[in-house]
Chains A and B, each alone.
Chain A
Amino acid sequence: MNAQLQPTGSAYFIAKETEHPEIHTLSVLVDNEPGVLARVIGLFSGRGYNIESLTVSETEHEKHLSRITIVTRGTPHVLEQIKHQLERIVPVHRVVDLSVRALELGQERPLERELALVKVAGTGDARVEALRLASAFRANVIDANTEHFIFELTGKVSKVEQFIAIMKPLGLVEVCRTGVAAMNRGAQGM
């Protein structure tokens, strides 16, 4: 877009993108070694890919394997590139596009869950309303005194978003979210 504002010409050919972007969730199984996360996110920033959400933790301690879950946005062509580029990283074992896999399994989406900690401060009616709504969302109170609650909420991204939006006028102080953890339904592993 910037190039169009400054038509100076250059030595490069730029083709217009005609495909539409989609949001996909990728699972990446990696050796848990120093720098491995930097390699993965460096690939995304270096090649201009998007990260909507990123979650990482060691999942198999004996084998030192970590599972990285990345929610990314791109055209089908870019998503295919992201998968192949990730597979080139030496400590990467496997990359599964959970969204593609879900479609293959006849499902709309993979299972995706996020955990949020939501601090809300207030007194009086607002406080009562916050607690009532939290219970409707099945959020747990994990810390409280007379002036605040900290809620723990687990669910789909949309549910977390909605809860946070509702809490805003009721004294929302701060939010911490884990990002999406995801896997496909059914008996098979990734």
Chain B
Amino acid sequence: MTNGQSERREMTGAEMVVQALKDNGVRDVFGYPGGAVLPIYDELFQQDDVRHILVRHEQGAGHAAEGYARSTGKPGVMLVTSGPGATNAVTPLQDALMDSIPLVCLTGQVPTSLIGSDAFQECDTVGITRPCTKHNWLVKDVNKLAAVIHEAFHVATTGRPGPVVVDIPKDVQFARGVYTPPQMAPRTSYQPKVQGDLDKVKAAVEMLAAARRPVIYSGGGVINSGPEASQLLRELVELTGAPITSTLMGLGAYPASGKNWLGMLGMHGTYEANMAMHDCDVMVCLGARFDDRITGRISAFSPNSKKIHVDIDPSSINKNVRADIGIPGDVGRVLEDMVRLWRATVKTDRKALWPWWEQVARWRARDSLAYRMNDEVIMPQYAVQRLFALTREHDTYITTEVGQHQMWAAQHFHFDSPNRWMTSGGLGTMGYGLPAALGVQIAHPDALVIDIAGDASVLMTMQEMSSAVQHDAPIKIFILNNQYMGMVRQWQQLLHGNRLSHSYTEALPDFVKLAEAYGGHGIRCEKPGDLDDAIREMISVRKPVIFDCRVAALANCFPMIPSGKAHNEMLLPDEATDEAVANAIDAKGRELV
């Protein structure tokens, strides 16, 4: 930064915070004031470079910052007070940790002299957030404050990105000290390795070139690595001619309209993606981490394949699945080497993969995402498909909550570019989508930002409708309302003898009136025939919209890999009769888990 103001000079801790934000390129901060951060809020009030977005709950600030980060590739910033402000931030911090989202959280703390005295709104913030951050700091010396904030941004955004917390006691905010501008002197103990080992990359290219049944399995790491990584991934797929699937987090890195696309893999992935994973001879995992939602039963996971695993976090390699070639490094850099080496050394034999593609075609013909249309009731899959069809011409960003609607969105809404899909994958945080949509809309004021939501999830952070109205963020909350916690119910049907313990929401609010009460716009749609017009109305309204889409109450999410089963033992929608669902997990499977 060549900001004239960012030189060594004396100022208060609170001024330093705002100056450090500016010096780190921060335009927007999501937060909520309170006693222990008032000096910082006073500084924010007296300047215009950093915009503060007031939320209604600190969890909302965190998810909004996450949505902002995921859709821009820049770090998200949140500012909260001590005690309850900090504890409310814990859920988004853990969410960002599990999905590797750069999130800088500044917390106020009681004055240094009161720490440990059980003061009003005191909590051990660094203690509570230690396991849910990449790193955290308690700053007791105002002269170190600026350097710590710069380091916090560096740690959050480099290596495997993640959340960080800087806890700032109130007396440090008032104290005067010397501000140090950002400088590139990272601590010697933190040196993430980004370049992959070239010999291993060579071996990987050779292995992939010799494959007859290859599959590429990409994840959120490709998105985190930046748009170049997605471009290189597309080149690698084109060069190798291999089929490609992706995790929930990686959707959009390879275009869903691309001819090599198999759809998402995993528990609710497509038949062709999971079968290809099971039957492949070489698997290339790029920036994904073999999560348990992906692998199914580990002992039966892709039994006959050689596995290449590229990940920026060395601890991800060999954690769940043993890699034959493990390459720690930034997936973008490694992809660059792979593409270059492939071009230089491999003569692609397209015909060699023909039998494999014929097999893939047979799996695709199984049409695993099919569902039975209904003229009377809106099928949730149909709702997502229409939403996709009618928003294609727009600059669209999608967030979701967690549950059946999330899986239907992943299956039926198709992404052709990265950073367009914001969802809570690792932690599975219900209530993520609405505030995340707010964050996306703040970053992209003219875009169409839609939270594909469930009726249960959305109520967890519904209060952020008020923030959206205040900040003129015309987010669209598209609720697939089946009046159930659908995914909970689905598991109760599978595992607990269809005893639907507390998974039916008996007293849902009138979502249309709720939207109006917040100052937004409410739409209800109950018939498939009315859906298109209602969606068009939603798109055209220039204010926050809650769309109450009444869908088939008992629809379940298929295909599915039931518990204890392997990729080739999927439960397909046309086989999922009540009886099949009840018996999908046999006694042995139940004992297993």
Interface residues of A, Cβ cutoff 8 Å to B: 3-4, 7-15, 30-31, 34-35, 38-39, 42, 46, 77, 80-81, 84-85, 87-93
Cα distance, A8 to B136, chains bound together (Å)? 39
Stretch among B15-23, B310-318, B334-342, B353-361 lining the A interface: B310-318
Stretch among B279-287, B290-298, B543-551 lining the A interface: B290-298
Interface residues of B, Cβ cutoff 8 Å to A: 126-127, 130-131, 134-136, 138, 155, 187-190, 292, 295-299, 313-315, 317-319, 491, 494-496, 563-564, 585, 587, 589-593
Given contact pairs A11-B563, A13-B296, A91-B187, a sample of 4 additional A-B residue pairs in the complex whose CB atoms are under 8 Å apart: A9-B494, A13-B292, A15-B297, A93-B189
Q: Given that A10-B495, A39-B130 are contacting pairs, would A93 and B590 also be in contact in the complex, using a CB cutoff of 8 Å?
A: no
Q: Which residue of A lies closest to B316 (CB)?
A: A84
Chain B residues near A80 (CB-CB < 8 A): 318
Shortest beta-carbon distance, A6 to chain B, in Å? 10
A87 and B315: CB pair below 8 A?
Answer: yes
Set A7, A31, A92, A93: member contacting B591, Cβ < 8 A: A7
Q: Which residue of B lies closest to A4 (CB)?
A: B591
A15 and B496: CB pair below 8 A?
Answer: no
B495 and A9: CB pair below 8 A?
Answer: yes
Q: Given that A4-B591, A91-B189, A92-B189 are contacting pairs, would A9 and B563 also be in contact in the complex, using a CB cutoff of 8 Å?
A: yes
Cα distance, A90 to B190, chains bound together (Å)? 5
Would you mind naming 19 contact pairs between A and B with Cβ atoms under 8 Å apart?
Answer: A9-B494, A9-B589, A10-B495, A10-B563, A11-B563, A12-B563, A12-B593, A13-B297, A13-B564, A13-B593, A14-B593, A15-B299, A31-B189, A35-B130, A84-B314, A85-B315, A88-B315, A90-B134, A90-B189
Cα distance, A12 to B496, chains bound together (Å)? 15
Question: A-B pairs with the 10 shortest C-beta distances?
Answer: A84-B315, A9-B590, A9-B495, A90-B135, A93-B189, A7-B591, A10-B593, A15-B298, A90-B190, A7-B590
Main SS of the interface on chain A? mixed
Chain A residues near B587 (CB-CB < 8 A): 7
Q: Which residue of A lies closest to B188 (CB)?
A: A93
Cα distance, A38 to B590, chains bound together (Å)? 37
Q: Which residue of B lies closest to A80 (CB)?
A: B318
Q: Given that A7-B590, A31-B187, A34-B138 are contacting pairs, would A88 and B313 also be in contact in the complex, using a CB cutoff of 8 Å?
A: yes
Cα distance, A11 to B492, chains bound together (Å)? 10
B496 and A9: CB pair below 8 A?
Answer: yes
Shortest beta-carbon distance, B230 to chain A, in Å? 25
B592 and A13: CB pair below 8 A?
Answer: yes
Shortest beta-carbon distance, B499 to chain A, in Å? 12
Chain A residues near B592 (CB-CB < 8 A): 13-14
B135 and A38: CB pair below 8 A?
Answer: no
Chain B residues near A91 (CB-CB < 8 A): 187, 189-190
Cα distance, A13 to B562, chains bound together (Å)? 10
Shortest beta-carbon distance, A105 to chain B, in Å? 24
Cα distance, A85 to B317, chains bound together (Å)? 11
A13 and B190: CB pair below 8 A?
Answer: no
Cα distance, A39 to B318, chains bound together (Å)? 23
B495 and A8: CB pair below 8 A?
Answer: yes
Shortest beta-carbon distance, B406 to chain A, in Å? 15
A81 and B319: CB pair below 8 A?
Answer: yes
Cα distance, A31 to B135, chains bound together (Å)? 13
Shortest beta-carbon distance, B302 to chain A, in Å? 14
Cα distance, A90 to B154, chains bound together (Å)? 11
Q: Which residue of A lies closest to B267 (CB)?
A: A11
Cα distance, A13 to B585, chains bound together (Å)? 12
Shortest beta-carbon distance, B77 to chain A, in Å? 19
Shortest beta-carbon distance, B250 to chain A, in Å? 21
Cα distance, A7 to B563, chains bound together (Å)? 13
Set A3, A9, A31, A87: member contacting B314, Cβ < 8 A: A87
Chain A residues near B297 (CB-CB < 8 A): 13, 15
Cα distance, A38 to B131, chains bound together (Å)? 10
Shortest beta-carbon distance, A30 to chain B, in Å? 7
Shortest beta-carbon distance, A32 to chain B, in Å? 11
Q: Which residue of A lies closest to B589 (CB)?
A: A9
Chain A residues near B135 (CB-CB < 8 A): 89-90
Chain A residues near B589 (CB-CB < 8 A): 9
Shortest beta-carbon distance, B116 to chain A, in Å? 13
A38 and B563: CB pair below 8 A?
Answer: no
Cα distance, A15 to B313, chains bound together (Å)? 23
Chain A residues near B292 (CB-CB < 8 A): 12-13
B131 and A46: CB pair below 8 A?
Answer: yes
Chain B residues near A92 (CB-CB < 8 A): 189
Chain B residues near A42 (CB-CB < 8 A): 130-131
Shortest beta-carbon distance, B524 to chain A, in Å? 32
Chain A residues near B188 (CB-CB < 8 A): 93
Shortest beta-carbon distance, B128 to chain A, in Å? 11
A77 and B298: CB pair below 8 A?
Answer: no
